[in-house]
Amino acid sequence: MDGDTFWFRGEKIRIADIDTPELSPPRCKRERELGLAAKQRFLGILNSGPLSLKVAARDEDRFGRKLRIVFRDRRSVGDILVAEGLARKWDGSRRSWCE
């Protein structure tokens, strides 16, 4: 779906420990470009082999998405995206990607 949300076994999963730029709708050109890059990178990670999911502090967000920390080969997918500049650690609030 985007850089931090995907479907798995009929459930919408949101990566609990990161925030990625919005695609629907992006607030500026930079957010759109970063959002598309995060989505493409995340799709590549998702399609490259098995994942494991760990329940976060809360099971669901206010939109009914399951909140999970996602791992590939024991490494947090969120940490991968943060290290590549495509996500931020989730600190409890959204910040602009248009700065």
User: What number is the average pLDDT over the span 5-25?
Assistant: 94
User: What number is the average pLDDT over the span 12-23?
Assistant: 95
pTM of this prediction exceeds 0.75: yes
Residue 93 is predicted with a pLDDT of 85
User: What number is the average pLDDT over the span 32-57?
Assistant: 95
Per the prediction, the chain carries an average pLDDT of 94
User: What number is the average pLDDT over the span 35-41?
Assistant: 97
Q: Report residue 70: phi and psi, to 5°.
A: -105, 135
Query: DSSP H helical segments within 1-99, as ranges?
Result: 29-46, 77-83
At 37, the pLDDT band (50, 70, 90 cuts) reads very high
